[in-house]
Structure 1
Amino acid sequence: MAMKRVAAFSAIRAFTSPSSSSVSSPNLTRHLHASPGSKKIVGVFYKANEYAALNPNFVGCVEGALGIRDWLESQGHQYIVTDDKEGLDSELEKHIPDLHVLISTPFHPAYVTAERIKKAKNLQLLLTAGIGSDHIDLNAAAAAGLTVAEITGSNVVSVAEDELMRILILVRNFLPGHHQVINGEWNVAGIAYRAYDLEGKTVGTIGAGRIGRLLLQRLKPFNCNLLYHDRLKMDPELENQIGAKFEEDLDTMLPKCDIIVVNTPLTDKTRGFFDKNRIAKCKKGVLIVNNARGALMDTQAVADACSSGQIGGYSGDVWYPQPAPKDHPWRYMPNQAMTPHISGTTIDGQLRYAAGVKDMLDRYFKGEDFPPQNYIVKEGKLASQYK
């Protein structure tokens, strides 16, 4: 119950607290809800190709189209789905001038720049199928009077479980052992010299929102020392339940941690905040998990620290840019356990965010408000976590 109260309070506070940093326009020209008539809706997702037919619930891809094509077209709306999103000759760019709704995902982000917003004269709604709308220029969207919303909570379980897995992979030095099996080798010493138990280690999360809280709850049975840094302190009942200690100052928390998990949103203030200086404050050999956003980290500083041993292991599924280029330094740094951006797009997660998108579109067509926690930009104001 305490967790529900905190989430509800945060959602309401996000759009009721006055702030001088909120962005608004005195002459908003867009409407929060659909005007009458047929709408042009464009979805940008990754292609599944031969994998599309292997699971009927694989809806988060181009071929699956979130499972809403028949529903939209039966109501007279036009629904276009593509993975082609970059450049002036892309399929997305062709539809920018007359689309009404753009649906995108963090896993194959359609970067919605101020220039694209300016071209999109009919655009009313930007929907993120998932969590994290930093691929959108939120200040430009707010100034244009657009609504930006996401399916809050849809993949928090998926991401928290993935983070726990990555912690264990790094702590137990799992990947070298797996590679030995593939390569026909057998060298226990090559794994054991840097494999540890998770019990008794100090784990700190930077950000203790929905995902961070779930991770802390899942870590409790491992008998870790749990720390968290966030702009908001947890409800005391929940904090006591989880057994996590609040750290008001991030730089004070970092040297205490054996393992650091990054769970903070990407904003103008947090972009690149984990740089060479922050890494130097950490314990030598610290393990870092980042499923939040790649651009939170100084890319080269992370690669250099992995090479020097200051970072003992780095794992995550977020990069900048995405998809990551072949020469991205994180692909080749030692002691990494990186993957493409997959943590939030499990089949279960896809079904949740697909259902959420359908619900939000239905509300949009009917002129109804969205759940308050789903708004990222509403009536020219940014949610507090993005300020």
Structure 2
Amino acid sequence: MAKVVCVLYDDPVGGYPTSYARDDVPQPKIYPDGQTLPTPQAIDFKPGALLGSVSGELGLRKFLESNGHQLVVTSSKDGEDSVLDRELPDAEIVISQPFWPAYMTAERIARAKKLKLIVTAGIGSDHTDLQAAIENNITVAEVTYCNSNAVAEHVVLSILALVRNFIPSHNIILQGGWNIADAVSRSYDLEAMQVGTVAAGRIGLRVLRLLKPFGVGLHYLDRHRLPRAVEEELDLTYHDNLESLVKISDVVTLNCPLHPETEHMINEKTLNFFKRGSYLVNTARGKLVDRDALVGALESGQLAGYAGDVWFPQPPAKDHPWRTAPHHALTPHISGTSLSAQTRYAAGVREILESYFEKRPIRNEYLVVQGGKLAGVGAHSYSEGDATGGSEEAARFEKA
């Protein structure tokens, strides 16, 4: 019997849904690069249900308990007396999401003597100390591509919200007003602007494809250059360094993984390379951006706006300075956890667990760490090291 500890975000404030806005959730038949959607042997949930919060349990309880395993589901993940820390010593598997991450630090891994598998229900496993996982021969897996397109859609939404000044305009209506001049005084057309993405992997490339019809100039920075045919198809300009990219861009979107090499890549120095009045969108990881430098750039006007769907730590303390910074379109980490995406990542977690328990190979594209080294998507996207430092500050969310 294996103990499985699953850390998920809290249920809706108004209670778990008894019905939903839609009766179906259309799904793609295949991902753009040819990868198939998750293929578990079965699922024990209805597609479109809320699976990512505590009551949803990722649809795993029936499967696990019918096979003799123990499932502990909690949202309590931070602080000295968290349920996660109490259950860790004899846990064999830990599952969490990027939106409400169980920060698997080296200290936690050291206490989890029976831990064999860490699964990310989604994409992005930087909340695990990958170096510690490597040294302790723990497998780390994530459901690659399950919510990449969902995040890309959120990027485009965020760009338009910033450039067209949508949120302040909407707030005018909520406040009973009709102040058109106030609404449009910071509103521009996206057409003819230059848009640059930091990383052009699954999410970044999808963003570029979605933006092409808007008549913008498209730029990208990536350590893996795209094929010439793709560059010509989308009329892309390649940049080999951040300074070159941001100097030309009216909008910069971050779509790269977090690891020691990318931590705080947007900082006081690099923000000075940006065009005055440009926009920054970040749906990747909060720790890519220096917290206080970003606030300064928004206050000075160096940046005209910031749309961030990601924070560090998560959840952020209630006095986190981004909450009160000017000209932002910040959201809790929702871009990759739409009900459509939850159907895919819950099925992907089930597929990973089926493979693990049946001692079959986990899909290579799902692997981040295996056999004491980076593997699969991890070898392509990550660097050995630790990006969890400072995560203990998440405990301040409840105390604030």
Do they superpose with TM above 0.5?
yes
Deviates more, 1:244-253 or 1:62-71: 244-253
SS at match of 1:154: coil
Q: Which residue of 2 aligns with 1:386?
A: 382
Deviates more, 1:279-288 or 1:55-64: 55-64
Partners of 2:162 and 2:261 lie apart in 1 by 29
Q: Which residue of 1 aligns with 2:161?
A: 169
Q: Which residue of 2 aligns with 1:142?
A: 134
Per-residue CA deviation, residues 73-119 of structure 1 (Å, 9 max, x unaligned), is 11111111000111231111111110110001011111111111111
SS at match of 1:377: strand
Confirm whether residue 244 of structure 1 aligns to residue 243 of structure 2.
no
Confirm whether residue 268 of structure 1 aligns to residue 263 of structure 2.
no
1:352-363 paired onto structure 2 within 5 Å:
352-363=344-355
SS at match of 2:126: coil
Out of 117, 132, 151, the position equivalent to 1:159 is 151
Q: Which residue of 1 aligns with 2:17?
A: 53
Q: Which residue of 2 aligns with 1:351?
A: 343
Out of 58, 61, 67, the position equivalent to 1:75 is 67
Per-residue CA deviation, residues 238-285 of structure 1 (Å, 9 max, x unaligned), is 222222221112211111000000011110111111101100000001
Q: Which residue of 2 aligns with 1:296?
A: 288
Confirm whether residue 90 of structure 1 aligns to residue 54 of structure 2.
no
Per-residue CA deviation, residues 287-306 of structure 1 (Å, 9 max, x unaligned), is 01000011110100000110
Partners of 1:138 and 1:351 lie apart in 2 by 27
Identity rate, percent: 45
Once the two structures are TM-superposed, the CA of residue 185 in structure 1 deviates from its matched residue by 1.6
In the alignment, residue 89 of structure 2 is paired with which amino acid? P
1:103-252 paired onto structure 2 within 5 Å:
103-252=95-244
In the alignment, residue 386 of structure 1 is paired with which amino acid? Y
Deviates more, 1:336-345 or 1:51-60: 51-60
Partners of 1:285 and 1:272 lie apart in 2 by 21
Deviates more, 1:239-248 or 1:98-107: 239-248
Partners of 1:236 and 1:369 lie apart in 2 by 34
SS at match of 2:17: helix
Partners of 1:221 and 1:111 lie apart in 2 by 39
In the alignment, residue 299 of structure 1 is paired with which amino acid? R
Once the two structures are TM-superposed, the CA of residue 237 in structure 1 deviates from its matched residue by 1.8
Partners of 1:373 and 1:233 lie apart in 2 by 20
Once the two structures are TM-superposed, the CA of residue 187 in structure 1 deviates from its matched residue by 1.3
Partners of 2:17 and 2:162 lie apart in 1 by 34
1:332-343 paired onto structure 2 within 5 Å:
332-343=324-335
Per-residue CA deviation, residues 126-180 of structure 1 (Å, 9 max, x unaligned), is 0000011111111011100000010000100110000000000011011111111
SS at match of 1:337: coil
Partners of 1:97 and 1:68 lie apart in 2 by 21
Partners of 2:298 and 2:58 lie apart in 1 by 38
Per-residue CA deviation, residues 328-371 of structure 1 (Å, 9 max, x unaligned), is 11111110010111000000111100000000000001111122
In the alignment, residue 53 of structure 1 is paired with which amino acid? P
In the alignment, residue 168 of structure 1 is paired with which amino acid? L
Partners of 1:239 and 1:333 lie apart in 2 by 36
Count residues with an aligned counterpart: 350
In the alignment, residue 297 of structure 2 is paired with which amino acid? A
Root-mean-square deviation (CA), in Å? 1.1
In the alignment, residue 16 of structure 2 is paired with which amino acid? A
Q: Which residue of 1 aligns with 2:30?
A: none
Once the two structures are TM-superposed, the CA of residue 51 in structure 1 deviates from its matched residue by 4.0
Partners of 1:238 and 1:256 lie apart in 2 by 21
Q: Which residue of 2 aligns with 1:39?
A: 2
Once the two structures are TM-superposed, the CA of residue 68 in structure 1 deviates from its matched residue by 1.4
SS at match of 1:336: coil
Q: Which residue of 2 aligns with 1:329?
A: 321
In the alignment, residue 44 of structure 1 is paired with which amino acid? V
Partners of 1:277 and 1:137 lie apart in 2 by 27
Partners of 2:126 and 2:176 lie apart in 1 by 43
Once the two structures are TM-superposed, the CA of residue 186 in structure 1 deviates from its matched residue by 1.5
Partners of 2:354 and 2:220 lie apart in 1 by 38
Q: Gapped runs of 5+ residues in structure 2? A: 21-45, 384-400
Q: Which residue of 2 aligns with 1:278?
A: 270
TM-score, length-normalised on structure 1? 0.89
